[in-house]
Amino acid sequence: MRRRYFLKSGATAGVMALAGAKMAAVPGLVHSDAPFAPLKPKRLQPGDTVGLVAPATAVFQDVEQDIARESLEALGLKVKLGPHMRDRHGYLGGEDKARADDINHFFGDSSISAVLPIRGGWGCARLLPYLDFDLIKKNPKVLMGYSDITALHNSIQAKTGLITFHGPLGGGRWDAWSVDYMKRVVFGGEAVTMSNPKSMNDRNSLTQIDNRTRTITPGKARGRIMGGNLTVLTAILGSPYVPDYSNAILFLEDVQENLYRIDRMLTSLKLAGILSKAKGVIFGTCSECGPGNDNYAALTMEEILADHVKSLGVPAWQGAMIGHNTPQWTIPFGLEVEIDATACTVTMLESGVSS
């Protein structure tokens, strides 16, 4: 079940929320107080126990749970299922408070080293009012995922400063390339440089086709890397769960969205003041994003990024291995990084985990 089916009007909802929001330093944008000092979780080690939760769309089949458990065990981890893991509330993995309770429960459990959502979909934004951010801040642990988990990354960063990880989900496709990056960042504590491979799936072509990158504006920039799924981020604009994006490296991705919606959502980020705050921009993949029916004169993705990103004049590039495609990087959300938009790389300036 795809996230977009539940967030078709996410950007509109975000703009409507802005209209009634109390004005902050940037007109139209409500965010947390000044950024917290980075709070790092302990690195994972073989033998650690992971708490598996379903904070968004429900788990409809046993096999989904089995695949997630077996994948994590193959990484040398033990798995504990959230008490409400198999609850159902329509398409959601249980009532909002119950899903939040599972996250709170595992952050408060000293035997658990990481909290890992099994899947995205839709629903994380609904449980944000029920999260115990004081508990999370007092018990920093690894939290990882992408897509709808963007709501958790942003809210936890806004309320605690905890470094979380935009990377594979528990029930995701754990290919060797993605596993390698995740283990280097989350297990090994390396400050890695991320770049797309030059020869993966090139189908013996004379030049790079798959996983191709493109510089939008050349140059280098440093800042805290934050962002996530474009639809989910715009859906929570105007709420207190959006961190301060001042001097951030903004990264974005999406899936199955018509291009006019990408244009609309980037416009929302512009109107909310987030784009103008960015020191640099990385646009990952936009899987299955096209003009849509009856949109024969749609702007192309390159034209949309030129209008909204190139016009900023900050280092920017597109095609990063961030998003719904496999393989994918593991991004330390909220950590200081340097991007080189000419070489199309991201370099962590320090480890994302503590010893």
Contact by Cβ (8 Å): 202, 115: no
- How do residues 186-199 score in pLDDT, each as one tens digit? 999 999 999 998 76
pLDDT value at position 19? 39
92: in domain:
yes
The ranges of the chain with pLDDT < 70 are 1-35, 199-205, 208, 256, 286-297
- How do residues 158-184 score in pLDDT, each as one tens digit? 999 999 999 999 998 799 999 999 999
2: in domain:
no
1: in domain:
no
- Chain-wide mean pLDDT for the chain? 88
Tokens for 336, please give them: 């200081």
pLDDT value at position 28? 36
354: in domain:
no
Determine how β-strand 345-348 pairs with β-strand 280-287.
Answer: unpaired
DSSP percent split of the chain into helix, strand, coil, nearest 5: 30, 20, 45
250: in domain:
yes
pLDDT value at position 4? 44
Residues involved in catalysis: 147, 253, 324
pLDDT value at position 212? 85
pLDDT value at position 296? 58
Q: Tell me, what CATH number does 239's domain have?
A: 3.40.50.10740
**Range(s) of the domain holding residue 136:** 7-348
pLDDT value at position 18? 40
Separation CA 239–CA 242 (nearest Å): 6
159: in domain:
yes
The total domain count for the chain is: 1
Q: 286-324: string of b/e by CB count within 10 Å (b at 16+)? A: beebeeeeeeeebbebeebbeebbeebebbbbbbbbbbb
78: in domain:
yes
pLDDT value at position 198? 78
Provide the whole-model pTM: 0.88
353: in domain:
no
